[in-house]
Amino acid sequence: MTDKTYDVAVAGAGPAGAQCARDVSARGYDVVVLETEEEDAFPSTSNKSTGGTFPDTLASFGIPDDVVQNFTDSVVIESPNSHYVQEHPGGVLDFGAFKQWLVDDGRRKGAEYRFGARVSEPVVGDGRAVGVRYNGDEEVRAKIVVDATGPSAALAEPMGVVDLRRDRQAIGVEYEMENVSMNPDGYADLRGAMMLRLDHDIAPGGYSWVFHTGGDTAKVGVCYIQNEVHERRADGETVDGYLERWIENDPRFEDAVRIDGAHHRGSAHVQKPESMSAPGLMAVGDTVPSVDPVWGEGIGKCMRSGRAAGVTADTCLQADEFSAEAVSLYDDIWHDRVAPNVDARLLLANLLYEVPNERYDRFMRDLRATDDEVLSKANEGSKRAMMKLIHLGDVPALARVGRRLLSPS
């Protein structure tokens, strides 16, 4: 331990923590980021994401084209017997290269990175976080601490900021594959597309996906929330088993082969954050959790939460004020800008994973019959727009979802 006190210490070099470090160091503050993985293998276990993202995120954070594996033109949603296509530009990131670029750019802006530094708990003094403990008994002191350790919530859990529930945890696994048939008869054209499939036979209580990465290559994966909807529909397979089974049975993968070593897995919680800060501490990204409950888009949300933490850190450091009230500015920005209408969107997500396969086919018809403006409002969580996609027959499923969301942990 040295006597140095940093302005900001960030635990975790994912999209949320690394973005926060970029923003805060660009403002001239002294920032240190502690990342558990070793630098020469980074990112390894944390190279978990498909990396599907959209132009607003690419532009807002200046993400360079050379970490984008493939620019896409459409989003396709499939049900067991139908599909819906929306023209919508996007980009599939090479997530490992993207994480490395975040680190490099943060360093260029002045942030210090310590790899091989596993953060275990906050250092608390005068009733607030004043640093972090890592690798056993090593310590870093800082005026503000940011927990960006993703679902491990290494600091936010012990500080009582979050309580991540197992029955709200979504787990996912994907392979990168080549020789995928991207446009066979009877299926949607997936060239230049990010496709999500709602089908309980493939992903009970979740969804599966094919994101085109160029030529005949794609990222192919499955995820679901480990709750009673999954248990009711599951037949004892593991998440890897469900992915293998899909690849075995879907003709689009008949000749496909896995690309060596290109295998990603991870988890994120789909639950409403009760709080996201404590005196001297903010929790960002999947720690909160910030992942979009409907479509699983986490990168943009997590980076926005990192940026909101950066703005809050700047305000607190200028005022030299780190109380619960001062830091709660972050909670306000989060609800306002990072994930507005979180309740309505959680309800929509849970309803989507709850209804049976037949309803998914009808959902495709509804999507085709609804104009783009209403769809975009529904996606933003407008209850009035969402009601246009909900039918009388959905009421029992809605009631089950409501009970589940209100159930105590």
Ligand X SMILES: Cc1cc2nc3c(=O)[nH]c(=O)nc-3n(C[C@H](O)[C@H](O)[C@H](O)COP(=O)(O)OP(=O)(O)OC[C@H]3O[C@@H](n4cnc5c(N)ncnc54)[C@H](O)[C@@H]3O)c2cc1C
> Is 49 or 277 the residue whose CB approaches ligand X more closely?
49
Question: Rounded to the nearest whole angstrom, what is the least distance from the CB of residue 390 to ligand X in the complex?
Answer: 26
> Is 130 or 397 the residue whose CB approaches ligand X more closely?
130
Question: Among residues 145, 148, 195, 346, which is the contact residue for ligand X, using CB under 6 A?
Answer: 148
Question: Rounded to the nearest whole angstrom, what is the least distance from the CB of residue 306 to ligand X in the complex?
Answer: 7
Q: Is 161 in the site for ligand X (CB under 6 A)?
A: no
Interaction residues for ligand X, span 82-121 (CB under 6 A): 118-119
Q: Is 378 in the site for ligand X (CB under 6 A)?
A: no
Contact region with ligand X (CB under 6 A), list: 42-50, 346-354, 361-369, 400-408:
42-50
For residues 64 and 52, what is the distance between their CA atoms, to the nearest angstrom? 15
Q: Is the peptide bond before 43 cis (omega within 30 degrees of 0)?
A: yes
Contact region with ligand X (CB under 6 A), list: 105-113, 142-150, 184-192, 368-376:
142-150
162 CB-near residues (< 8 Å, 6+ apart): 153, 156, 273, 274, 275, 276, 283, 287, 288, 289
Q: Is 33 in the site for ligand X (CB under 6 A)?
A: no
Contact region with ligand X (CB under 6 A), list: 181-189, 255-263, 299-307, 315-323:
299-307
Q: Of all helices (H) and strands (E), which one includes residue 128?
A: strand 128-134
Q: Is 37 in the site for ligand X (CB under 6 A)?
A: yes
Q: Is 48 in the site for ligand X (CB under 6 A)?
A: yes
Q: Is 310 in the site for ligand X (CB under 6 A)?
A: no
Contact region with ligand X (CB under 6 A), list: 47-55, 235-243, 249-257, 323-331:
47-55
For residues 219 and 202, what is the distance between their CA atoms, to the nearest angstrom? 16
Distances (CA, A) of 244 to 113, 221, 253, 367, 372: 38, 9, 10, 30, 35
Q: Is 52 in the site for ligand X (CB under 6 A)?
A: yes
Question: Among residues 131, 279, 280, 285, which is the contact residue for ligand X, using CB under 6 A?
Answer: 285
How many residues form the binding site for ligand X (CB under 6 A)? 43
* Burial bucket for residue 205 (CB in 10 Å: 0-12, 13-18, 19+): buried
Using DSSP bridges, classify how beta strands 138-147 and 31-34 pair: parallel, antiparallel or unpaired. Answer: unpaired
Q: Is 12 in the site for ligand X (CB under 6 A)?
A: yes
Q: Phi and psi at residue 281, in whole multiples of 5°?
A: -135, 140
Give DSSP secondary structure letters for 314-331: HHHHHHT--SHHHHTHHH
Interaction residues for ligand X, span 329-348 (CB under 6 A): none
| SS3 annotation, 173-222 | EEEEEECCCCCCCCCCCCCCEEEEECCCCCCCCEEEEEEEEECCEEEEEE
284 CB-near residues (< 8 Å, 6+ apart): 16, 17, 20, 146, 147, 148, 276, 290, 302, 305, 306, 308, 309
Q: Is 302 in the site for ligand X (CB under 6 A)?
A: yes
Report which of 119, 144, 120 is spatially closest to residue 324, judged by C-alpha positions.
144
Contact region with ligand X (CB under 6 A), list: 180-188, 244-252, 264-272, 396-404:
264-272
Question: Among residues 34, 156, 159, 203, which is the contact residue for ligand X, using CB under 6 A?
Answer: 34
Q: Is 226 in the site for ligand X (CB under 6 A)?
A: no
For residues 356 and 347, what is the distance between their CA atoms, to the nearest angstrom? 16
Q: Is 286 in the site for ligand X (CB under 6 A)?
A: yes
> Is 156 or 316 the residue whose CB approaches ligand X more closely?
156
Q: For binding to ligand X (CB under 6 A), which residues are involved? A: 11-17, 34-37, 43, 46, 48-53, 118-119, 148-150, 152, 154, 172, 174, 221, 264-268, 285-286, 291, 296-300, 302
